[in-house]
Structure 1
């Protein structure tokens, strides 16, 4: 039996940021990881939260402010963030922004 794979040629085409709101789309999931693509409209800010597993963020376009614990960092295309499980965090899109979230299971 052949291996299965996920192939998306252009992630930016998969998550056009809405004018107002947040788009989220799971693009791959297996027993070890989950990949979720987000499109944030300008000014969108999900409430601060924690994750029960380690996670990584990769910003693909736009500009956002990322709160990691008590630190606040500016993120743009190319920014990478790794977070341990349980770290309080929040994201505020300063302009239309596309971000990839990777959750690392077990």
Structure 2
């Protein structure tokens, strides 16, 4: 069993760069928390496995498959392996990325 009381506290905002920290790794999943300060982004890339994206704080714009969606706390997005996508934050936001194995 793995319990994390507050995923948002796993990583702090850094105004100089996008910050990230592995929250945990277990059979079938690796969870990473990202902290985006205003204007920071993750350029288009591909994940080697299926992923789940969930906003923990703020709003994040995710572009994939010719669409752009806004993730807010409580929302989740699933992408298959190899799908090109990018993530951007207009204001401070935190994101939980779960890489499924």
Tell me the TM-score normalised to structure 1 length: 0.87
Q: Which structure dedicates a bigger proportion of its chain to strand? A: 2
CA deviations on 1:58-94 (whole Å, 9 max, x unpaired) are 1010112110121011122112000001111000111
Q: Please tell me whether the aligned partners of residues 59 and 79 of structure 1 are also in contact (alpha carbons under 8 angstroms).
A: yes
Residue 62 in structure 1 maps to residue 58 in structure 2: yes
- Structure of greater Rg: 1
Q: Please tell me whether the aligned partners of residues 61 and 99 of structure 1 are also in contact (alpha carbons under 8 angstroms).
A: yes
Q: Could you tell me how far 1:32 is from its partner in structure 2?
A: 1.6
Unmatched tracts of structure 1, length 5 or more: none
* Structure 1 residue ranges (4+ consecutive) displaced by more than 6 angstroms after TM superposition: none
Tell me the TM-score normalised to structure 2 length: 0.91
Q: What RMSD in Å do the two structures reach over aligned CA positions?
A: 1.2
Unmatched tracts of structure 2, length 5 or more: none
